Amino acid sequence: MKKQYLEAGRIVNTHGVRGEVRIQPWADEAAFLTRFRRFYIDGKPVNIRSCRVHKEMCVAALEGVQDVNAAMALKGKVIFIDRDEAKLPPGAVFLQDIIGARVVDEDGQELGVLEDVMAEPAASVLVVKGEREILIPDVPAFVLKKDPDAGIVTVRLIDGM
């Protein structure tokens, strides 16, 4: 079942003395988080006064957080976004929706379960655990289809994988 609120990053520190927070984004690009008008922290909505990218992190001014002490109290908190407010490009999926999916090859043979997605410089890598662990680059040549509704990821393997 798809979750309504998705983990989107972690507040890792403060920024300046006016209560801004630095957020490590859990998205392909930090700019993704700048599209939102509210985050959810500890299950409560928090309106965003401003949000910008700085050194691959998001720097956000949150409503109700006016100084560095209030910002410091949020350090380590996970921020969530509402799925309905996120607009993904066609064919894109939330990783949280496919973790735990069955992974099959193009002939339908079961290979295992998608346990993790590692972010690597060239491309993300799918970690599939079955009879053995298989690492599959998340590129169209190897990952043919991601179907979060069916809970299946279809891949093409080559010799040596």
Q: Please check the confidence at residue 1 and state whether its pLDDT lies above 70.
A: no
> Which of 84, 118, 144 is the last residue before a domain boundary?
84
Instruction: Give dist(CA 59, CA 93) in Å, integer.
Output: 25
What average pLDDT does the segment 2-23 reach?
A: 94
| CATH code of the domain covering residue 110 | 2.30.30.240
49 and 111 together in one domain: no
| CATH code of the domain covering residue 23 | 2.40.30.60
Q: Which residues pair with 80 in a beta bridge?
A: 7, 40
Query: Does 160 fall in a domain?
Result: no
Query: Does 118 fall in a domain?
Result: yes
Q: What percent of the chain has pLDDT over 90?
A: 78
In total, how many domains does the chain have? Answer: 2
Give 123: exposed, middle or buried? Use CB within 10 Å, 0-12, 13-18, 19+: middle
Mean pLDDT taken over the chain: 93
3-state secondary structure of 25: strand
User: Where in the sequence is the domain holding 56, given as residue range(s)?
Assistant: 5-84
102 and 122 together in one domain: yes
101 and 77 together in one domain: no
Q: Please check the confidence at residue 158 and state whether its pLDDT lies above 90.
A: no
101 and 79 together in one domain: no
pLDDT digit string, tens, across residues 104-143: 999 999 999 999 998 888 888 999 999 999 999 999 999 9
Q: Quote the pLDDT of residue 132.
A: 93
- pTM of the full predicted structure? 0.75
Give 95: exposed, middle or buried? Use CB within 10 Å, 0-12, 13-18, 19+: buried
Query: Does 61 fall in a domain?
Result: yes
For every residue of 76-136, which 3-state class applies, written as one string?
CCEEEEEHHHCCCCCCCCCHHHHCCCEEEECCCCEEEEEEEEECCCCCCEEEEECCCEEEE
